Amino acid sequence: MSVVIEQPRSPRSRKAANWEKYGWMYMRASGALLVILIFGHLFVNLWVGEGIKAIDFAFVGGKWSNPFWQVWDGLMLWLALIHGTNGMRTIVNDYTSKEGIRKALNIALWGICAVLVVLGTLVILTFDPCPANGIAANLPSFCPAR
């Protein structure tokens, strides 16, 4: 079995940090923040103005020229990916019966999470709204090439 439930009324052991407790707390803390971050994200990207129709490179370039949206999206990236991966870990722990498969799935989940967090963070931090390789018409209006 993947989850060991302690004997009731057994003395509390203080050998290791209680990671399950921290995970439980993280889901609630990040969840509360994500409600604000994601509803804000949906409002600005899908509701305001032309919604989905208006989303293109120039739209993203305009947003990420502002540190406010870089921080907003960076927070959303980290909190949501870790929240989602931890939720998937819970599901894997619930429904797998073979220890090897459970371990393999969880390693795959956290591996994917790490790759996407690093990728997304690098994209937000190294993003250039006016790249030289872009067709001028596709660039934000504040770019010199336009």
Partner 1 sequence: MPTKPAGTLYRGKVGMWSWVLHRITGVAIFFFLLVHVLDTSLVRLSPEAYNAVVSTYKTPVVGLGELGLVAAILYHALNGVRVILIDFWRKGVKYQNVMFWVVVAIAFIAFAGFAPRHLIHVFHLG
Work out whether 92 is an interface residue with partner 1 (CB under 8 A). no
Q: How far is the CB of 44 from partner 1 (least distance, A)?
A: 13
CA trace torsion 88, 91, 95, 97 (10° rounding): 60
Find out whether 82 and 113 touch, Cβ atoms under 8 Å.
yes
11 or 26, CB closer to partner 1? Answer: 26
Work out whether 146 is an interface residue with partner 1 (CB under 8 A). no
Q: How far is the CB of 8 from partner 1 (least distance, A)?
A: 18
Which range of residues in 5-13, 15-23, 79-87, 99-107 is near partner 1 by CB under 8 A? 79-87
Exactly one of 18, 20, 22, 51 binds partner 1 (CB under 8 A); that residue is 51
Q: Using the 8-state DSSP alphabet, how is residue 5 labeled?
A: P
Q: How far is the CB of 22 from partner 1 (least distance, A)?
A: 15
* Calpha distance 73→146 (Å, rounded): 26
Q: How far is the CB of 64 from partner 1 (least distance, A)?
A: 8
Find out whether 2 and 96 touch, Cβ atoms under 8 Å.
yes
Q: Using the 8-state DSSP alphabet, how is residue 136 labeled?
A: G
Residue 121 token pair:
């963070």
Work out whether 135 is an interface residue with partner 1 (CB under 8 A). yes
